[in-house]
Amino acid sequence: MNHLKDLLVSLAQAKVKFVVCGGVAVVLHGVERMTLDLDIVLEMTTENLERLLATLKALSLVPRAPVPPELLLDMEKVKWLREEKHAVAFNFIDLQNPFRQVDILLTEQPSYDALLTDAETLIIGETEVKIISKAKLIAMKQAVVPVRLKDLADIEALQKSKPSQS
C-alpha cells in the first residue's frame, strides 16, 4: 500500500482538495481487503483541477483512455462524459507501474462539499488527508447500480467494523 500512501501524500502536499472514497477508504476504516486504485472526489474548481493535473503529471500518471487530461477542466465535457458515455470515473494510471492508479469520481452526488462536512482526517507523517465518513461510504456503496458483490461485502464489513480513530 506504499504507492497509495505516496499518492495520498503527494496530492495533499500539492494542496489538491479531495476526499478519499472507495476501497482505500474501506481499508482506512479498518476493513481488511485488497484494493489497487485510489478513488477520490474532488473540489471541481479550475484551480484545484489544475493542481491535480500538475501533480498527476509529476507522478507520471496519464489518462487510461486516449483523451487529454485537460478534458477535466471543461465542465461541459465532464457532463458529456457522465451523461453520454455513462462514465463514473476518469482513470489515471502509471504505465510503468499499473498498480498506481487514481480514479477521479465524476458523479455529481455525493459532492466534495457534501463529503467534507463529516469527513474524517488521517495524518500521514505530517500530512492531513480527508476520508469519507463510514456512514457516507456505506450509503455510497448502497447506491451503486448494478449492485456489485464487492460492495455488498464492503457494506457488511464496514457495519461490523469498529469506529475508526482519526
Is 163 within the bounds of a domain?
no
Is 140 within the bounds of a domain?
yes
Domain ranges, residue 110: 2-153
Question: What is the distance between the alpha carbons of residues 66 and 91, in angstroms, rounded to a whole number?
Answer: 11
- State the CATH number of the domain containing residue 115: 3.30.460
| pTM, two decimal places | 0.92
Q: Is 101 helix (H, G, I), strand (E, B) or coil?
A: strand
Is 109 within the bounds of a domain?
yes
Q: How many domains does the chain have?
A: 1
Is 162 within the bounds of a domain?
no
Is 18 within the bounds of a domain?
yes
- pLDDT given at position 163: 67
End-to-end CA distance of the chain: 19
Is 160 within the bounds of a domain?
no
DSSP type of residue 55: H
DSSP type of residue 74: -
As a whole number, the mean pLDDT across the chain is 93
